[in-house]
């Protein structure tokens, strides 16, 4: 979650940089490239997070069953 925050913050910063460059009639292609890269990084983080959640689901179910079994014995 922290990495998503960092990527979003960088995206906003680079967006402001691009806006300022465009307002000053300077080239802003580099900033747009960084923004596209940050979007790609965000999609990669999202995809890896979903894969990790799917991979850990059986273990979470096992832990939940253990907890319910333990609590049922009290």
Q: What is the pLDDT of residues 32-59, one digit of tens each?
A: 999 999 999 999 999 999 999 999 999 9
| CA–CA distance, 36 with 44 (Å, rounded to integer) | 12
Query: Which pLDDT does position 74 carry in this prediction?
Result: 59
- Mean pLDDT for the chain? 94
Query: Which pLDDT does position 42 carry in this prediction?
Result: 96
User: How far is CA 40 from each of CA 6, 15, 72, rounded to the nearest angstrom?
Assistant: 14, 15, 47
Percent of the chain topping pLDDT 90: 95
What confidence category does residue 73 fall into, taking pLDDT thresholds of 50, 70 and 90? Answer: confident
Q: What is the value of pTM for the model shown?
A: 0.75
Q: What is the torsion angle, in degrees rounded to the nearest 10, for the CA atoms of residue 27, residue 32, residue 34 and residue 40? A: -160
Domains held by the chain: number: 1
By C-alpha distance, which of 32, 31, 39 is closest to 7?
Answer: 39
CA 3 to chain centre: 6
Residue 27 domain boundaries: 2-72
């Amino acid at each position: 979650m922290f990495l998503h925050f960092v990527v979003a913050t960088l995206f906003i910063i680079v967006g402001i940089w691009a806006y300022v460059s465009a307002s000053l009639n300077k080239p802003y292609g580099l900033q747009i490239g960084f923004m596209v890269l940050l979007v790609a990084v965000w999609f990669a983080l999202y995809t890896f997070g979903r894969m990790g959640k799917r991979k850990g689901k059986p273990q979470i179910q096992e832990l939940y069953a253990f907890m319910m079994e333990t609590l049922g014995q009290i």
